[in-house]
Chain A
């Protein structure tokens, strides 16, 4: 019995016939060879989000980011004209990492007028050009113009900074993101600048965590211990049903309905939710963000929970109805490991009460995420046994089929390009 109408084909999955309804293999999560292919075909080709413009408030603001899948560290900087640029974080003289402190594995952020290499003192302007060479006249026919920092393709959309490691991206960023993000273009991200950031090393393939967060079928079961018995039992009885699913190009979105916790009977709430007027769905007292973009909550759920935009390959933006948003990033480090990052954004709190409500929402998010992460290592361990290669997926898990299919398609296309690319 559907609470929300499904497409005329009878299911979300069959609405996208290229996905099929057969059981799926997770062979793409258990092999080093496959990871190497994904690294080249996906993580060195796709646009990757590396942060937001608020992290670069003025000319000279920069941050560095180590990206294992590209075997590099990059500097993202706002130049004197205000343009956001990205460079490989390597000094052109002898290859030292240009910007680092104490530990080259630790990302840095700050503000400067130029970058100075700590090895021999070469300096680079915010545009990447060499501005100073120590004892320049000792070199042989050195033309500084030939030794600028190596640029990385960098574009900004809705305040999100993306890079692409291909010499020539297959598509401009806006085209790559496509129509699925249109509802987000007018979202007031720039007003939600109060940020909680979380980071974790996960002993599982990156796609397994994407999968964990792109279906909510698990929620009433895995997260049972997060609610008083009354609500937990009711949630499990009801099960989960997404209100709307949409797949566009390599990206996916799911809309869920919500709850109005302030209307729930006492035994269904934790006392702390009442004290802080906040919880899983966010602070109960919604900030005034003005009229939200019309494309959000496309089927007009009332109450609405969230829209979860799963942007290929490793980035997600969750817009919650209660006036906050969350992002996820999954940075692969091997076929069986990745770094997970989550950012939780609110409008700056004006009062202690608002601040405590945000603390409650952020910490609730963390406790749920710890449970979501908890199954991943256990899943990876057993997938690597390879005793089962056919896993059934239900209609609420349609986005999982899509991710694995798209990842496979990108690998296939890349292999065809490179096999057929005998041009060199």
Chain B
């Protein structure tokens, strides 16, 4: 069963990134290889403008499930952008022992 709106069927291979919380998205980033993140980044960034337009036609506080999944995918796009655009590693450099857990965030 598809998770995303039909017009974004091309992004279905990446729905493992449809994660509702920052903590889950960050954990998936740390557990991913650069190849995995680059593939996702390349796919989602080329569709980001269309995805933002799609979601913006709907009320943010009452998104249907498929659009909400698309919004989570956009939030994961932000999450992987740092390693992909800058560091070529999942973590910001020199922070092996450092954590900063997101314990509360706006919904949606």
Contact = CB atoms under 8 A, between A and B. Distances in A.
Interface string B76-108: 011101100111000111110111111111101
Nearest to A275: B48
Nearest to B74: A356
B49 interface: yes
Contact of A369 (B60, B100, B104): B100
A366 B102 CA distance: 9
Given A270-B81, A370-B92, A371-B92, A198 B103 contact: yes
A200 B93 CA distance: 18
A360 B78 contact: yes
B52 A356 contact: yes
B81 A356 contact: no
Contact of B60 (A197, A200, A270, A355): A355
B106 A195 contact: yes
Interface string B23-47: 0000000000000000000000100
A356 B106 CA distance: 11
B4 interface: no
A362 B104 CA distance: 12
A405 to B, nearest CB: 29
B55 interface: yes
Given A351-B60, A352-B56, A371-B94, A272 B81 contact: yes
Given A194-B106, A355-B108, A367-B92, A199 B100 contact: yes
B71 interface: yes
A258 to B, nearest CB: 21
Contacts of A342: 100
A352 B60 contact: yes
A89 B79 CA distance: 39
A276 B78 contact: yes
A373 B98 contact: yes
Contact of B101 (A200, A227, A270): A200
Contacts of B95: 370-371, 373-374
B61 to A, nearest CB: 9
Contacts, number: 119
B98 A352 contact: no
Question: DSSP majority for the A interface?
Answer: helix
B12 interface: no
A201 B99 contact: yes
Interface in A187-201: 194-201
Nearest to A373: B98
A271 B100 contact: no
A96 B70 CA distance: 47
A226 B86 contact: yes
A172 interface: no
Contacts of A348: 106
Contacts of B104: 195-197
A365 to B, nearest CB: 9
Given A367-B82, A370-B92, A373-B95, A198 B102 contact: yes
Interface in A237-280: 270-272, 275-276
Interface of A: 194-201, 203, 225-228, 270-272, 275-276, 340, 342, 346, 348-356, 358-360, 362-363, 366-367, 369-371, 373-374, 377
7 contacts: A349-B106, A352-B108, A367-B82, A370-B98, A370-B99, A370-B100, A374-B94
Given A352-B58, A360-B78, A367-B82, 14 more contacts: A198-B100, A200-B100, A225-B92, A226-B92, A271-B45, A275-B77, A349-B106, A351-B55, A356-B75, A359-B78, A371-B92, A371-B95, A373-B100, A374-B94
Interface of B: 22, 45, 48-49, 52, 55-56, 58, 60, 63, 67, 71, 74-75, 77-79, 81-82, 85-87, 91-95, 97-106, 108
* 9 closest Cβ pairs, A-B complex: A352-B55, A272-B81, A197-B104, A194-B106, A374-B95, A373-B98, A200-B100, A370-B95, A374-B98
